[in-house]
Amino acid sequence: MEINVKDYQSKREIKRDYRKTFWKDRYNDRASDEEKENLNNILGYNQALWKLAHQRGFNWETIKVESVDSKFENERPGYVGRMSGDLLVNYKGSVVIGNDTYFNIWSSRIDTNGFW
């Protein structure tokens, strides 16, 4: 079952910062910088999911990130050039926690100034 990270909520309000303790307690020295960045992008600021990942754990091999869509920020019909703005790349990432797959879609901006 695929669950959008933005739709997942806890039944109770979570006050503790599970994201910080997740990296501090268990995984900081086991993960590469790229793995950390990918997991941070997938789970975002959803403390309920960080708590779930902290309690249940997960397998690093289940983290997947793929490019979904790319476009220029300022698209003018028929024109691609210096004034078209930064390139926006959308990524879809997923991770399996327990028996469910959690996914998130986020954007990354690439400065196209040096391409021309």
> Secondary structure of the chain: what % helix, strand, coil (to 5)?
35, 30, 30
CB 79 within 8 A of CB 60: no
Q: Is the pTM of this model over 0.75?
A: yes
Tens-digit pLDDT profile for residues 42-80: 998 888 898 888 888 888 889 999 998 877 666 666 655
Token pair listed for 102? 């959690």
Q: Are strands 2-4 and 87-97 parallel, antiparallel or unpaired?
A: unpaired
Tens-digit pLDDT profile for residues 82-116: 555 677 889 999 999 988 999 999 988 777 665 54
- The band of 33, judged by pLDDT with boundaries at 50, 70 and 90, is confident
